[in-house]
Chain A
Amino acid sequence: MYTFSNRLKTFSIILMVLGLLGVGYGFMSSHKSLDEVKTMLAEEASHHGGGHSEEASHTVDDSHDTQVVEASHSGEAHGEDAHHGDAHAEHVMHQIHNRPYAALYVAAFFFMMIALGVLAFYAIQIASQAGWSPVLFRVMEGITAYLLPGALIVVAVAIFAGDHLFVWMNPDMVNPESDHYDALVAGKSAWLNKTGFVIRALVFIGGWSLYRYFARKFSIAQDTAKDNKNFKKSFRIAAGFLVFFIYTESMMSWDWIMSVDPHWFSTLFGWYVFASMFVSGITVIALITLYLKSKGQLEFVNENHLHDVAKFMFAFSIFWTYLWFSQFMLIWYSNIPEEVTYFVTRFADYKLPFLGMVVMNFVFPILMLMNADYKRIPWFVVMTGLVILFGHYIDIFNMIMPATVGDRWFIGIPEISSILLFAGLFIFIVFTALSKAPLLVKRYPFRKESEEFHY
């Protein structure tokens, strides 16, 4: 049995407290009034040089024309010079207000998706009757303990943020009488409405958590069972869950991520989000396994298991890149205005994170993990894993931020504290769950094969 060490517990609580303080600070410092924003913009413009200021504000604004956020302000004002300054300042004010919500949401989603990715990986291992991974099952079960609280937090943040994140949650956008009426969003209101959002979210979370609950239950029951009845049950529900998962994961990605840009759509988006969560999940399995092994808790895990996990990290980093590039290249190639704005804003305002994540999620892992020997060296896998995790945080950042804060993005106190907050919570919940059951499955039929696994 593993005991959650007091040092790690204190560490996770410190992370949560620090994160909470920072998140609170983020919310307090973002309440800027319109006048404050105007002064700020005037100051920024003066940095560019006086005569240039009018042009500067124009160019900044032009890039926003393509953004969805713009739709929540009066569209006509952009054309009229008299109102131009006001509309722009209001637009920027909204972006500044959105920032702490978006920062919180990105971090909440990032840690939730790790747990969900691990759950999918776990189900695949059981359904495919993998012979190498049963020694890691308890680690995976521990990580998936974060799924239920984590997913509920994501939905809570989404509802709490409301139209700060999801412009379609603003009732004015579907009201034909309003200045903010948006015909495109109104046309999608059969899917994109708050009631539907909550119901779907509860169905997704309910389904995932039910699978997680029963998989864990059968896994524990199999430890003391006399026959393989529990193993067979866990096999059956894993197969069923995978079917449920691939549908709900896809819909979840439309609801929770794609709908921050309600004018934009992409068909492979669900797969793309899946690739991101899957590779992050596998990376976290590797990191937690190595941590527990360094504490002497997993003596039955050897470098061959590490090699296999690292191969998955490597392969799914490439899979992620494949989907990222397929989505980007198809849209870049055809250059249809209604689709391409998505990447235009990302290229205009997010060049470093947008291209940086390709380096972190593709170039770095492909070079680091290609060599078979390197995949067996713990510090190598840890180092690459941390880069991959950070890269996938940036990936989620790039999905949410351009639609909510536009070019007002920065990885500062709100973002970092949100990461700390959820990292602390994640560590706390995962390691508490790990200490609830022995770290090795006992009567699992493939246990022996897994313990003697050799590559």
Chain B
Amino acid sequence: MEASKVIHAIYTDDDVLMSAVKTVKADRHHIEEIYTPFPVHGLDKAMGLEPTRIAITAFMYGLVGLTVAIVMMNFIMIEDWPQNIGGKPSFSYIENMPAFVPIMFELTVFFAAHLMVITFYLRSRMWPFKKAENPDPRTTDDHFLMEIAVHGNEKELQSLLKETGAVEINLVDKAH
């Protein structure tokens, strides 16, 4: 359940942000989101995010690409019209396989790479003309923003965040 009110705590240093995340997690508050201008190494671990499974999807897409290449070449070169082209043996797939390997390889890579990228776009909800979901433009330059849900414990949260070194703490009503 998304809270209607959230606190935006703004930091100017990634090390301070990291220790703040640890403090907030230790105090059992739910971190909704963190906005950073660049990847902060270890942030996902500190937040307790699950590891990505995109590599597994890429592997499976690669298998799809390999299958497409094999089925396609087998149908075109062996089954549909087995011509004698320069003496290459077109009697069975395996006999002419070395000639197909470059295509098998490229299609495996092509499918794995492109479908993985598209998966990434879909899962991260990124597309052209998408409205930017940026709560504060400074987070694309040199500020870090932690968004924490508020359930009637603003005072307590604000003092906790102040201790962690936040330079700015804003209470934001998301309902509007």
Contacts and interface: CB of A to CB of B under 8 A. Distances in A.
A329 B101 contact: yes
Interface in A297-340: 325, 328-329, 332-333, 335
A329 B101 CA distance: 9
B72 interface: no
A328 B101 CA distance: 12
Interface in B42-101: 55, 59, 87, 98-99, 101
Contacts of B59: 370
Given A333-B99, A335-B87, A372-B55, 9 more contacts: A325-B98, A325-B101, A328-B98, A329-B98, A329-B99, A329-B101, A332-B98, A333-B98, A370-B59
8 contacts: A328-B98, A329-B98, A329-B99, A329-B101, A332-B98, A333-B98, A333-B99, A335-B87
A372 B56 CA distance: 11
Interface string A354-380: 000000000000000010100000000
Interface residues of B, number: 6
Nearest to A322: B105
Nearest to A335: B87
Contacts of A372: 55
Name the 4 nearest CB pairs between A and B, nearest first. Answer: A329-B98, A332-B98, A333-B99, A325-B101
Interface residues of A, number: 8
A413 to B, nearest CB: 35
Contacts, number: 12
Contacts of A333: 98-99
B55, B98, B99, B101 pick with most chain A CB within 10 angstroms: B98
Contacts of A325: 98, 101
A413 B43 CA distance: 58
Contacts of A335: 87
Contacts of B101: 325, 329
A387 to B, nearest CB: 21
Nearest to A372: B55
Contacts of B99: 329, 333
Interface in B130-157: none
A339 to B, nearest CB: 14
A325 B101 CA distance: 9
A234 to B, nearest CB: 31
A332 B95 CA distance: 11
A335 B88 CA distance: 10
A372 B59 CA distance: 13
A372 B54 CA distance: 13
A366 to B, nearest CB: 11
A33 B77 CA distance: 52
Nearest to A370: B59
A249 to B, nearest CB: 27
A332 B101 CA distance: 13
A328 B59 CA distance: 27
Contacts of A329: 98-99, 101
A372 B55 CA distance: 10
B95 to A, nearest CB: 11
Contacts of B98: 325, 328-329, 332-333
Interface in A411-442: none
Nearest to B41: A454
Contacts of A332: 98
A325 B99 CA distance: 11
B45 to A, nearest CB: 11
B117 to A, nearest CB: 19
A365 B59 CA distance: 15
A386 B90 CA distance: 38
